[in-house]
A and B are shown apart, each in its own frame.
Chain A
Amino acid sequence: MPKDLVFITVIGKDQKGIIARISNALFKHNINIEDLNQKIMDGYFVMTMLADMADSRASIGDIKKEFAEIEKQMDLNIQVQHENIFKAMHRV
């Protein structure tokens, strides 16, 4: 089955439980985490996660709704974007 990859980018203050809460939300929707990267950039905690939605019934819109609560509670900025846009911009 072809993969349906999305990038989840989290920007904010480093704190306990960020990855746990995001992984939990993804697990709930049967989304597999393929890769994970984190770093402090310009003083902010930045994490990017590559996830495969091929086995999930959820849409990107559903995932965003799920993350909205986490964003509010943990004061984070979470972006979910399909991989295609990164391919278009950064790969010729």
Chain B
Amino acid sequence: MEYSLEEVMETVRMTLYHNFDIRTVTLGINLKDCIDTDIESFKSNVYDKVTEYGKRLVSEAGKIEDKYAVPIINKRISVTPVSLIVESCKEDAPLEIAKTLDMAAHDANIDFIGGYGALVQKGMTRADSRLIDSLPEMLSSTEQVCAFLNVGSTVSGMNMDAIIKIGNILKDIASRTDNGIGCTKFAVFSNAPEDNPFMAGAFHGVGEPDFSLNIGISGPGVVRSVVEKNRDCDLTGLSEVIKRTAFKITRAGELIGRELASNMEVPFGIVDISLASTNKVGDSVAGIVEMMGIEHIGAPGSTAALALLIDAVKKGGAMASGNVGGLSGTFIPVSEDSGMNEGVRSGALSIEKLEALTAVCSVGLDMIAIPGDTPAETISAIIADELSIGVVNGKTTGVRLIPVPGKVAGDYVNFGGLLGETYVMNVSSFSSRDFILRGGRMPAPITSMKN
């Protein structure tokens, strides 16, 4: 046989026992060609395009799942940022389009649809402002539409006026939805990539073609099992085995993405090699770090361990595919990763430590429940802190915070399903109000003098 039994079993074990899956296939769709000043025609163009391609995505993804026995967990669509396509329309157009997207996603059996957002890193147009103001109503009246805002970039700096707005808006969204769950569908970014397949931040960027099929692979369980098998090797050796594993899962992801794109007759976009955890036993990024020898994620050494982990994943992934893109960092969402959540419960993990972790390895402060009475300016300040790490270091960072109404630090909250469960994290009670309310634009950072 051309393959040894061990090789065959390595692949089989990944899918059977270590939760290797395709976390998402996300079809990016350009909606600029749907624009019409008559809102009814506009909506019908959007609905027809999204449902047609959405249905094809679901059906073709099902066939590929069967062919390779690799589960595809989410089938999603990302669209052109909605603020761009409603510029010439009347005031309530963003909401009307959101409802159309929601209906189309439902009818096509798509899990989520992303792109309700705006790129406002330098300033806001009237349409951007209208869309941002509509977020609380949109997120409390639709089921499957996800929202994003890009409010900072390395070349433009950070739009602090937008960040002030977001603090208030997050509290408003939280107050309108059970346990503040609407906030789980809204991510704020600096340096947001245009081809990210992961929600809530996916959108189909203006530099993209008409369609683009992007794929997010996931293998925390697979990586954890190789770390477990290599208990005695030093960190150089550990990086080597993680690299090889990342290579293999990226190759599988690229194969599946390319074949799906070809079957749908759309261009293949990127493979996002982010390690994305779930609450399944063993499928945890925190679990990998703990297997490396850290007692609980958040303990000293966690930042170094995660830095090693993602560096090895990137090296393996980059060798495996010329199309690595999207976020491609380690996700450390608190509620969606049982190990992270245990770190919070045990007291090992704080928001401040999470922020440090995001400086070297990950994509941001994700799925963090905070007390419902956290002042809006403090929420804005946490966002500004996190995004400035991205702006200054030329990387993507994002924030998804949930100020849970009526809950205080240490309380338990369950968001259900993949969104998981968590303990509400403590937030510093010292004020940042006067700093945040200054507003304006934080200038773009100098890109030389790197220390």
Question: Is B3 an interface residue when CB atoms closer than 8 A count as contact?
Answer: yes
Mark each residue of chain A from 48 to 92: 1 if its CB lies under 8 Å from any CB of chain B, else 0: 101000000001110010000000000001011110111011100
In the assembled complex, how far is the CB of residue B237 from the closest CB belonging to chain A, in whole angstroms?
21
- Docked-complex contact A48 and B8, CB < 8 angstroms: yes
A7 contacts across to B, CB distance below 8 A: 3, 8
Contact A35 B9 (CB under 8 A): no
Q: A50-B1, A81-B69, A82-B67 are in contact. Are A90 and B7 (CB under 8 A)?
A: yes
From A7, A60, A86, name the one whose CB has the most chain B CB atoms within 10 angstroms: A86
Decide if B68 is an interface residue (CB 8 Å cutoff).
Answer: yes
In whole angstroms, how far apart are the Cα atoms of A50 and B256 in the complex?
20
Interface string of A13-32 (1 = CB under 8 A from B): 00000000000000000000
Question: Which B residues lie within 8 Å of A1 (CB)?
Answer: none
A37–B3 Cα gap in the complex (Å)? 10
Could you tell me if B252 and A77 are in contact, using CB atoms closer than 8 angstroms? no
A29 to chain B, nearest CB (A): 15
- Which residues of chain B (114-133) have a CB below 8 Å from chain A? none
B5:A84 contact, CB within 8 angstroms: no
Q: How many residues of A contact B (CB 8 A)?
A: 25
Q: Is the CB of B66 within 8 A of A84?
A: no
Known: A86-B8, A89-B11. A80 touches B252 (CB 8 A): no
CB-based contact B66/A85 at 8 Å? no
CA distance A81 to B63 in the complex (A): 12
Shortest Cβ distance from residue B28 to the other chain A in the assembled complex, whole angstroms? 23
CB within 8 Å for A61 and B16 given contacts A9-B8, A35-B1, A86-B7: no
Closest to B245 in A: A89
Mind listing 14 A-B residue pairs with CB under 8 Å?
A7-B3, A9-B9, A11-B16, A60-B66, A64-B66, A77-B16, A79-B16, A79-B69, A84-B68, A86-B11, A88-B255, A89-B7, A89-B252, A90-B10
- How many of chain B's residues have a CB under 8 angstroms from any CB in A? 26
Q: Is the CB of A90 within 8 A of B255?
A: no
The distance in angstroms between the C-alpha atoms of A26 and B20, with both chains bound, is 27
Q: Which chain A residues have a beta carbon within 8 Å of chain B's beta carbons?
A: 7, 9, 11, 35, 37, 39, 41, 46, 48, 50, 59-61, 64, 77, 79-82, 84-86, 88-90
B16 lies within 8 A of A90 (CB): no
Tell me whether chain B's interface is mostly helix, strand or loop, or mixed.
helix
Complexed CA–CA distance, A37 and B202 (Å): 44
Q: A81-B68, A90-B248 are in contact. Are A37 and B255 (CB under 8 A)?
A: no
List of A residues within 8 angstroms of B2 by Cβ: 50
Q: A64 — which chain B residues lie within 8 A by C-beta? A: 66
A16 to B268, CA, bound (A): 46
Q: Residue B5 contacts which of A48, A60, A79, A88 (CB distance < 8 angstroms)?
A: A48
B12 touches A9 (CB 8 A): yes
- Tell whether B141 is near chain A: CB-to-CB under 8 Å: no
Is the Cβ of B1 less than 8 Å from the Cβ of A46? no
**Residue-wise interface mask of B (56-73) relative to A, using a CB-CB cutoff of 8 A (1 in contact, 0 not):** 000000010011111000
Which chain B residues border A35 with CB–CB below 8 Å?
A: 1
> Given A60-B66, A81-B69, do A88 and B251 touch, yes or no (CB 8 Å)?
yes
Interchain residue pairs A-B with the least CB separation, the first 5: A88-B255, A88-B251, A89-B248, A61-B66, A35-B1
For B254, give its contact among A39, A88, A90 (CB under 8 Å): A88
Specify the chain B residue showing the minimal Cβ separation from A50. Answer: B1
Residues of B contacting A84 with CB < 8 Å? 68, 255, 259
Q: How far is the CA of A33 from the CA of B160 in the complex (A)?
A: 65
